[in-house]
Each structure stands twice: as structure tokens, then as C-alpha cells.
């Protein structure tokens, strides 16, 4: 079986990281049974690590939604490589033009839907009808498509995965956060997300003052970059909590940082799944997050963390405060979260489900 994977992302976060995980596990679990080819933009960060896995990589010009030429470039590659199946992992024009390429090359095609933002019904019914199957990375995303009249029979849920060998619980080490000027005695709360409005950082900033009154050693670290950085820093100043919040920017080696956190908070307004939440649980770190999109599938409420309604700062305060003040509960939820990741979100779970889908699609007339 020869499968082409199309990923239009240029960085190695979120979707592209999940594609790399899938390729890694397919290569390891099914040697000799599947040949994977990756098509990605020229200069993408995924190129070298994919090649290191033994995957053939073809770098291709990808100009976005208006780049109709992408359909013909992809179709040519599919025909030259004599591919059995195309899996399109992203948007940015790859979804639309990839479907057209499959039609031109007369090849089976699967789309992975990673986001839960709504689309007009007329568009969804037509767009998703182009594919032999649509993978939703959470039941939350599936439910959005169902509400847009996409037939249940067209979809299958295959959830994102976490590398449970790379993200592991570790003993607390001294000095890990000194580079961020965080006191050694701090109880650390991490938010690992792009600095964009829908990630909901403001709702946590709203309650930082009260949380610090209850737990004076609490300190909040915002990991990530984004267009809202200046506005969020200004909001911290306005609220008088800047001394309790650190903006770290992008931090390499996040798998070394997460296990040192006391908890992770994710007050998002929308989220397809939340890979950082999977990573936190794999590292044995409890979570407080919004009950939106696929998050309730990543965080078991009352087991590996707490869920709150999005935009509800009072509920967010209550749950974060409870964890801040109960170290034993943090440890229990962290251990349970690790177990949950090993059972339901390991790389082999994703690759096995994907392989079963490939075979089913190819066996359909």
C-alpha cells in the first residue's frame, strides 16, 4: 500500500507534529506493508525529521486557497508515484485542491479535519462530499460536521496522539524556572498555547489576583507566541498582576518543562483537541480546561483534571484554586492522567486506527 500524506503547515507544531507522529508509528508498526510519502511546502520544518524516519519527502510549492495550480502539481505526483491513497492533513488550500487532485488522478482520498470552527451548511455538504472518508480528531469536531448535515457514514473519529515515550513524568528539579525569574518556591501554573484571542488567556488573567491572595506562591507562565502578546501584557498591567505572570515566548524542549509544572490551565473558547493537554497528562500534570470542542475527550473531568464552561472566570478560579491548595489531589490527578494517555492516546492507537481505515477505504468499490 502506498499512501501520500499532504501537510501544508510550515512549522512543527499542532497538525504537522501529529502527521510526524503518524508517520513514525506507521513506519514502526507496519514495515513492508505501507510506503509513506510526505508532500509539504518547500523548506517546511517537517522535512528533516520525516526523512530521518525513512519517509520519502517531496517538497512542493503551496500557495494557499487561491493556488489552483496545486491541484495539478499534486495530481502529477500521485500519478508518477502510482499512489493508492491520499490523506490530506491540513487546510490552506490543500483540502480543496487535494480533493481535485485525487479526482484528476482517480485516486482514493481522505481528509483530516482538525478544527471545530463552523462552516456554512451549503459549503460543508459539498466540500466533505468530495472525500471517501473524513477523519475528525475528536467527537466534538464530528458533532460540528453533523450539525452541518455531513452524513455520519462519511466520518470516523481518530484522535490525536501523544508520544508517551518522550512526554513522561519526572521528579521536580531545582532551578528549572530560574531563567524565567520564577522563585524556587513557586507553585507553577502553565498555559501552553498560541497568544491568540480564542485561547482565552484573559479569563485566567482576570482571576490571577484572587488566586495569588489564596496561594501567595502561585506563579503563571504563558508559553507561546502570537499577535495578542502585547495586548495580554497590557491587560496584566491593567489588572496589576504583571509580577505574577511570565510570558516565556517559544521554549524549546517543552517535554523537559511540562513535567516540572504543578498544573496546566487551558481556558480556550474553541479547540479541536488540544495537543498540549495530551502532553501535560502524559507528563503527569493535572489540568483545568474549558469544556469545548474535543477537550472533554482529552481531559476526564474529576479524574485527570477539571472542566469549566468557557468564559466563566468564576468557575476557572474555583477549580484552579482547589488544585493550587491541594498537592495530594494534583498528584492523584496527574497519575490518573498519565494512565489515561497510555490507554487511549498512544501513537500506536492512532496508527492502528488509521491503518484499519486505509484498508477499509481501499477495499470499497
Could you tell me how far CA 328 lies from the centroid of its own chain?
28
Whether residues 152 and 193 fall in one domain: no
Residue 98 lies in a domain: yes
Whether residues 198 and 319 fall in one domain: yes
Whether residues 230 and 121 fall in one domain: no
Whether residues 155 and 20 fall in one domain: yes
Res 125: pLDDT: 85
Q: What is the mean pLDDT of residues 211-237?
A: 97
Whether residues 187 and 311 fall in one domain: yes
Residue 209 lies in a domain: yes
Residue 166 lies in a domain: no
Residue 103 lies in a domain: yes
Say if residue 91's pLDDT is above 90. Answer: no
Q: Which residue has the higher pLDDT, 318 or 176?
A: 318
Domain count, the chain: 2
Percentage of the chain exceeding pLDDT 70: 100
Q: What is the mean pLDDT of residues 112-136?
A: 91
Res 252: pLDDT: 86
Residue 170 lies in a domain: no
Whether residues 132 and 213 fall in one domain: no
- In eight-state DSSP terms, residue 189 is E
User: 268 lies in which domain range?
Assistant: 178-344
Q: What is the mean pLDDT of residues 205-211?
A: 98
Say if residue 365's pLDDT is above 80. Answer: no
Whether residues 142 and 231 fall in one domain: no
Q: Mean pLDDT for the chain?
A: 95
C-alpha cell read off for 258: 511540562
Whether residues 330 and 350 fall in one domain: no
Q: What is the mean pLDDT of residues 29-43?
A: 96
Residue 305 lies in a domain: yes
**In this structure, which long-range contacts are made by residues 54-60, counting pairs with CB atoms below 8 Å and at least 24 apart in sequence?**
54/27, 55/23, 55/27
Task: Please tell me the least confidently modeled range out of 147-156, 175-184, 228-237, 327-336.
Answer: 175-184
Res 97: pLDDT: 95
Q: What is the mean pLDDT of residues 153-170?
A: 95
Q: Residue 124 is part of a domain; what is its CATH number?
A: 3.40.50.2000
Say if residue 25's pLDDT is above 80. Answer: yes
Res 100: pLDDT: 95
Whether residues 108 and 234 fall in one domain: no
Res 48: pLDDT: 97
Whether residues 20 and 35 fall in one domain: yes
Residue 49 lies in a domain: yes
Whether residues 67 and 127 fall in one domain: yes
Whether residues 68 and 207 fall in one domain: no
Amino acid at each position: 500500500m502506498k499512501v501520500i500524506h499532504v501537510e501544508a503547515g510550515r512549522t512543527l507544531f499542532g497538525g504537522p507534529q501529529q502527521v510526524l507522529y503518524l508517520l513514525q508509528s506507521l513506519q514502526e508498526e507496519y514495515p513492508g506493508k505501507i510506503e509513506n510519502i510526505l508532500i509539504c511546502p518547500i523548506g517546511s520544518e517537517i522535512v528533516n525529521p520525516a526523512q530521518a524516519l525513512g519517509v520519502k519527502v517531496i517538497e512542493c510549492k503551496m500557495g494557499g486557497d487561491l493556488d489552483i495550480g496545486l491541484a495539478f502539481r499534486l495530481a502529477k505526483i500521485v500519478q508518477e508515484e502510482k499512489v493508492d491513497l491520499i490523506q490530506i492533513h491540513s487546510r490552506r488550500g490543500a483540502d480543496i485542491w487535494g480533493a481535485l487532485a485525487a479526482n484528476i488522478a482517480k485516486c482514493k482520498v481522505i481528509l483530516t479535519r482538525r478544527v471545530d470552527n463552523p462552516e456554512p451548511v451549503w459549503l460543508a455538504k459539498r466540500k466533505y462530499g468530495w472525500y471517501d472518508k473524513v477523519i475528525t480528531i475528536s467527537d466534538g469536531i464530528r458533532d460540528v460536521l453533523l450539525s452541518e448535515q455531513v452524513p455520519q457514514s462519511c466520518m470516523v473519529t481518530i484522535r490525536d496522539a501523544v508520544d508517551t515515550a518522550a512526554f513522561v513524568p519526572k521528579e521536580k528539579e531545582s532551578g528549572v524556572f530560574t531563567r524565567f525569574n520564577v522563585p524556587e518556591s513557586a507553585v507553577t501554573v502553565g498555559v501552553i498555547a498560541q497568544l491568540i484571542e480564542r485561547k482565552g488567556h484573559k479569563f485566567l488573567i482576570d482571576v490571577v489576583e484572587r488566586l495569588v491572595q489564596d496561594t501567595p506562591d502561585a506563579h503563571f507562565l504563558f508559553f507561546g507566541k502570537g499577535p495578542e502578546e502585547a495586548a495580554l501584557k497590557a491587560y496584566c498591567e491593567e489588572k496589576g498582576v504583571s509580577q505574577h505572570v511570565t510570558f516565556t515566548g517559544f521554549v524549546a524542549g517543552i517535554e523537559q518543562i511540562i513535567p516540572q509544572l504543578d498544573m496546566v490551565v487551558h481556558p480556550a473558547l474553541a479547540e479541536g483537541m488540544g495537543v498540549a493537554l495530551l502532553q501535560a497528562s502524559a507528563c503527569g500534570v493535572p489540568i483545568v480546561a474549558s469544556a469545548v470542542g474535543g477537550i472533554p475527550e482529552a481531559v476526564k473531568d474529576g479524574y485527570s483534571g477539571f472542566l469549566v464552561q468557557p468564559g466563566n472566570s468564576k468557575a476557572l478560579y474555583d477549580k484552579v484554586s482547589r488544585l493550587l491548595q491541594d498537592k495530594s489531589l494534583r498528584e492523584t490527578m496527574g497519575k490518573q492522567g498519565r494512565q489515561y494517555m497510555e490507554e487511549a492516546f498512544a501513537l500506536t492507537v492512532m496508527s492502528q486506527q488509521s491503518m484499519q481505515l486505509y484498508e477499509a477505504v481501499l477495499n470499497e468499490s
